[in-house]
Amino acid sequence: MRLVLVGTSHHHAPIELRERVALDREQARDLAARLAAGGGEAVCLSTCNRTELYVVGADAEAVERAAVAALAELEPEVEQALYRLHDHAAALHLFRVAAGLDSLVPGEGEILGQVRAAHELGTTAMLLDRAFRQALHAGRKVRVQTAIGESPASVSSAAAALAEQVFGDLDGRLILLVGAGKISEQAARNLLTRHARIAFVANRTLDRAEELARRFGAEPVPLERIEEQLVAADVVVASTSAPGYVLDAETVARAVRQRRGRRLLLIDLAVPRDLDPAIRELEGCYLFDVDDLEAIVAETLAGRRSEAERAEAIVNAEAEKFHEWHASLDVIPAIASLRARAEEIREGELRKAEGLLGRLDESQRKAVESITAQIVNKLLHLPTVRLKQAAAAADGVVYAEAVRHLFGLGEDEH
């Protein structure tokens, strides 16, 4: 059976094209079932960065044509942006995808869950089941053995990670959002996933503050009253469109005096900046603006790229194991026939010698059985190993035919 991959990703197609071939869960399940009809296997992996069809069938060309047609049905233009990979190359690609090595941000963690979901929705049997299980194993191994996914890859996740560098556990830490725009909200969501609490939302227009505060169960505050909340908050996230500083150093200094030594992290996501850089000089205050966060993210991405080299080695080793297993499928019927033939001969010869063996007691008979079985096993061990090696080196079919010919395997059936 041949493994075929047909797909497109952020490397080959712009978002305008990718979104036209994106599949939801139902569509992915139905398409996989359709492609697998007639005894094949299929899995559709569709994320915001890629749509890929992994299909198994006896005729690789026919399988590839069917997969291309299925995607072209969704959007004819996509055909120019498709990649087509077979067998080892297809498996290696899947393993790299699961490890996050083909992602826009190397090592991003979401893809592993998406690969798992695609596997669950697919129509799989021996080959694709094994390929996806091993890909998920490779993905987990990469994340455990390398630091590729440890550091944040976006400004908002970097802000949350910095909060952890100051406070450790963010459980129950109070967040003051200054500005009720999308950027504040995104940063706040990242902090919320780490169990911080959005306590106050301050905005120049109170209506917008109330709307966002309601969503987070926070208290809306007019921008003029922000100083009072500074005493209680642990993290300030600012992203207004104000032309000047919304918070100056004197205001923060007054609040700091009432904070009894508690630390304050200030994240300024606005351009022009909302927070006076002189705040940085105040004891217990840690201020990061957009440039700082972007520099930190760039550095962590560089770290991810260097970890990616180690991850590639892990993925290659896992893909090689899969390749050996897949290749061995070509020779396994020949090996099974050879062993069955040898066993048949052994049992036949033992039956012929029944007259002599009849005089042996039970333990002696068992010893003869064991010795003959060992002889057969030892004789067949090396040919079995060599056949599997040949299969891995792409000569498996030739060797399997040679074995069938030399030992006359399957001739009785003909």
Active-site residue set = 48
* Residue ranges in 124-143 that form contacts with other proteins under rule CB under 8 A: none
Site string for other proteins, 231-270 (x = CB under 8 A): -----------------------------xx-x-------
- Residue 284 contacts other proteins per CB under 8 A: yes
321 binds other proteins (CB under 8 A): no
Structure tokens at 218: 């926070």
Nearest-approach distance from CB 406 to other proteins, in angstroms: 50
Query: Which single residue is written with the structure tokens 């996933």?
Result: 193
Nearer CB in complex with other proteins: 69/295 = 295
Please state whether beta strands 2-9 and 50-57 pair in parallel, antiparallel, or not at all (unpaired). antiparallel
Rounded Cα–Cα distance for residues 208 and 223 (Å): 12
Residue 392 binds other proteins, judged by CB under 8 A: no
Distance from C-alpha of 98 to C-alpha of 120, rounded to nearest angstrom: 14
Q: Which stretch binds other proteins (CB under 8 A): 80-88, 107-115, 135-143, 289-297?
A: 289-297
Give whichever of 234 and 318 is closer to other proteins, judged by the CB atom.
234
> Minimum Å distance from CB 195 to other proteins?
14
Q: What's the min distance (Å) between Cβ of 165 and other proteins? A: 6
User: What is the distance between the alpha carbons of residues 178 and 267, in angstroms, rounded to a whole number?
Assistant: 10
Distances (CA, A) of 64 to 4, 6, 30, 84, 235: 6, 7, 18, 8, 54
Largest CA distance in the chain: 109
Closest distance to other proteins from the beta carbon of 106 (Å) = 14
Site string for other proteins, 100-129 (x = CB under 8 A): ------------------------------
The number of CA neighbours under 13 Å toward the Cβ of 230 is 26
Specify the residue, 195 or 366, whose C-beta has the smaller distance to other proteins. Answer: 195
197-203 and 219-222: which strand pairing? parallel
| 288 is a contact residue toward other proteins (CB under 8 A) | yes
The first and second tokens of residue 5, run together, are: 């991959």
Nearer to other proteins, 150 or 320 (CB): 150
User: How far apart are the C-alpha atoms of 67 and 165, rounded to whole Å?
Assistant: 48
Residues in contact with other proteins, counted by CB under 8 A, come to a total of 26
CB-nearer residue toward other proteins: 92 or 158: 158
**132: left (phi > 0), else alpha (psi -120 to 50), else beta?**
alpha
CB of 240 to other proteins, least distance (A): 21
Exactly one of 24, 26, 224, 283 binds other proteins (CB under 8 A); that residue is 283
For residue 57, give the 3-state DSSP assignment: strand
Q: How far is the CB of 295 from other proteins (least distance, A)?
A: 5
Nearer to other proteins, 310 or 346 (CB): 310
Rounded Cα distance between 331 and 339, Å, is 12
Q: Which stretch binds other proteins (CB under 8 A): 55-63, 186-194, 296-304, 374-382?
A: 296-304
Evaluate whether 79 touches 152 at the Cβ level (below 8 Å).
no
List the beta bridge partners of residue 199.
none
- Report CA-CA distances (Å) from 412 to 72, 408, 409: 48, 8, 8
Q: How far is the CB of 110 from other proteins (least distance, A)?
A: 19
Which of 16, 74, 6 is CA-nearest to residue 43? 6
Reading the block at residue 332, the tokens are: 């396994």
What is the C-alpha to C-alpha distance for residues 61 and 314, in angstroms, rounded to an integer? 30
Q: Which of 148, 296, 392, 400 binds other proteins (CB under 8 A)?
A: 296
Does residue 280 interact with other proteins by CB under 8 A? yes
What string marks each residue from 299 to 318 as x (binds other proteins by CB under 8 A) or -? xx--x---------------
- Say if strands 50-57 and 41-46 run parallel, antiparallel, or are unpaired: antiparallel
Q: Which of 182, 186, 218 is nearest to 202 (CA)?
A: 218
The stretch among 58-66, 72-80, 177-185, 293-301 that binds other proteins (CB under 8 A) is 293-301
- Residue among 210, 211, 292, 343 that touches other proteins (CB under 8 A): 292
Distances in Å between the Cα of 320 and the Cα atoms of 133, 285, 306, 392 are 14, 52, 22, 9
Binding mask 143-172 for other proteins (x = CB under 8 A): ----x---xx-----x--xx-xxxxx----
Interface contacts to other proteins, rule CB under 8 A:
147, 151-152, 158, 161-162, 164-168, 260-261, 263, 280, 283-284, 286, 288, 292, 295-296, 298-300, 303
